[in-house]
Chains A and B, each alone.
Chain A
């Protein structure tokens, strides 16, 4: 691991002040929370910050799950395990609890925060292994070794001719399905709230720029609005093994039903796309219709329309569609306690 200066921030104001105090030679500051992704990538020499600002003490301010009048607040410093085991999250927002318990391992979930979770980097092997010279995400302009390489796990949606890395997380899809907002503080001390689904950027010609955050921005939490679909929500994740693996394909679904007719369908796909992927076309295909298996298949076809495969990952188009069909049917059939 390369050398870095370690600083500790006692609270949000101090974290932002330290982030703002950038000098030309230490332009690469990173906040350190759970460290499960950042320290990993630093050991691999993929990320090379020369200054770490430890924000673990901010758990006092941002480490709570709170039930609100009009929804749910998840602080950015909440641990994955803490949110997954929260009784209100489990009963009223099952898609969130399921996306978290099906991710990582018990140890990692005890360490990783929700704020860091949504920012985790791709597991593309060509990104993680610096012995490969061509990776536009790691070294802009060098090319993409994955295009003609081992790309079985990589993305088929939202890709560009520069990058086919997939977004690896699960929780982000749950946030998108529930229409969450994210709260961010800038180094100017002001905070802003915006739709979570606009946090991640498509790779396009700049796959190294993954989010709309500015340097020093600090995520403080997520607001999940109440809605008739939050309790009828589900996360279906398909993996190579039963536990402790990233998604080959996953679907987060939240439904408002009137009988068996869809009033509102909210759908996000994971494992398949360059970013946490909102499946608008599938939502539109279902709205106002009966949620039959045939209609679910139609929605799945709409969701995967425009998918681009690169050889080894071609199976993901079919798998992604089937995963969504299963998620829709299982969500429809959920028994919701009054």
Chain B
């Protein structure tokens, strides 16, 4: 008679679920690059109404 061998008790290991991460696009692809503003608007962005 064969010894009954019980199956070892194991805790099922669940593979971690990985959500594919998507790196955000570089900022110039997300926002308007201030450097692209035209010369006149750059003079306005300099804001001479606000103290240096």
Q: Do A and B come from one complex?
A: no
> Residues on A close to B: CB < 8 A?
none
